[in-house]
Amino acid sequence: MDHTWLEPFSPEECMDLLLSHAVGRVAVIVNGFPVVLPVNYRVAQHSGGTWIALRTRPGGLMDRAPQPVALEIDGVDPAREQGWSVLVRGSLLHVDPEAGDFRSRFDPEPWLTEDRDAWLIIEPFDISGRRLRRGDAEWPFSPDAYV
């Protein structure tokens, strides 16, 4: 009999996945309702911790979004009914890209570059993740029946 379970990621596994990807979805609340937007991001590690750097259009939805946000990245394998997800919850803050050489060190290089001059970071208060695993199905017949 096969079975499926959720396996939590360690903080190191979450960070490895965040560092090895560049596209995610940011969830914000706008007028009392959730909105989820695709974004390019870059992990900005510094002596004080970790930030997620984003660039967006000045005055756009992301630029005007309230502080509490979530970023999610994931991978799905439909054929094996498996997948994983990393969730970053934190505050969305504006950044001066010239401060501390931030622009050259942490540019998320958005796929849409026109008018992406508002620089933001997510300052995480929680990073978590998990993997959906599926066990191998047992063979329905005993091999002893063929011996």
CATH, residue 31: 2.30.110.10
How far apart, in whole angstroms, are the C-alpha atoms of residue 68 and residue 28? Answer: 7
How far apart, in whole angstroms, are the C-alpha atoms of residue 134 and residue 3? Answer: 6
Q: How far is CA 80 from the centre of its chain?
A: 22
pLDDT at 67: 83
Name residues of the chain where pLDDT drops below 70: 1-2, 100-108, 110-113, 136-147
Residues 6+ apart with CB under 8 A from 2: 134, 135, 136, 137, 138
Domain count, the chain: 1
3-state secondary structure of 30: strand
Residue 61 domain-assigned?
yes
- Asked if residues 37 and 25 have their Cβ atoms less than 8 Å apart, the reply is yes
Domain that holds residue 21: 8-132
pLDDT at 57: 86
How far apart, in whole angstroms, are the C-alpha atoms of residue 63 and residue 29? Answer: 13
Q: What is the pTM of this model?
A: 0.81
Nearest to 18 by CA among 78, 87, 67, 69: 87
Residue 143 domain-assigned?
no
| DSSP state at residue 81 | T
Tell me the Ramachandran region of residue 97: left when phi exceeds 0, alpha when psi lies from -120 to 50, beta otherwise. Answer: alpha
Residue 52 domain-assigned?
yes
* Residue type (1 letter), 133: R
3-state secondary structure of 16: helix
pLDDT tens-place string over residues 119-130: 889 999 999 999
3-state secondary structure of 50: strand
Residue 31 domain-assigned?
yes
pLDDT at 145: 52
Residue 137 domain-assigned?
no
- Tell me the percentage of the chain whose pLDDT exceeds 90: 45
pLDDT at 1: 46
